[in-house]
Every structure is written in structure tokens, then in C-alpha cells.
Amino acid sequence: MRIVNYLSNLAIPITILLILVCGLIEKNKVFDTFLEGAKEGIENVLKIFPTLIGLFVAIGVLRYSGVLDFIIKLIYPIIGFLGIPKEIMPLAILRPISRKCFYCNWK
């Protein structure tokens, strides 16, 4: 267990070192490449931010209004028969909706 702990503590420094060494070997400007990637990352966050806020609000409204619990109570006879725990049903119901909404603005 100590070895795993030691290796996990070294994982990030070794990764950074490997990136720097590979950049030096390939003669890339590592920091400039990092800045370009960070800029692209921020652009992606700004593209999906409104969708994420909308999803969080919609999921919160469904949860706190009781609609989600009502839907689960309606389908409980079927999921109970199939042996599916009702605690995972909010995730099973909201996951397809969130994936569709999340990717609709990701281009």
C-alpha cells in the first residue's frame, strides 16, 4: 500500500516532467502550446456554460417540485419487478435528457 501511495504522490510531477522532456526533444514551445490549449478550454467552457446552467436549474426544479418522485412512484411497479433500485431512477431518467441537451450546443 505504501508503494501505491508513493507512486500516486509522484504521478503529477512525473507527468509534468515527461511533458517538458517531450517538448524539449520535439523542440516545441511547451508554454505556448499550453496557452493555446487553455484558450481553447476556456472557449469550450463559455460555449457550454448556458446549457449547463439550464440543466442544473431544470434538474433542480424537477427534484424540488416533486415531479421526479411522482414519475418514480408511477414506474416503481415495473422497476421493482425488474429488481432495479428506485434510488438510481433519478439518474436513469435525467441522464439521457442531460446528455442530449449537453451535446446540442457542443460544436
Contact 2, 10 (CB under 8 A): no
Cell of 29: 514551445
Mean pLDDT, residues 47-65: 85
Report the alpha-carbon distance of residue 40 to residue 35 in Å, rounded.
9
The pLDDT of residue 29:
87
Taking residues 58-80, what's their average pLDDT? 87
Greater model confidence, 99 or 22: 22
The overall average pLDDT reported for the chain is 83
Place of cell 415495473: 78
CA 77/CA 94 separation, integer angstroms: 19
The model carries a pTM of 0.51
Q: How far is CA 35 from the centre of its chain?
A: 23
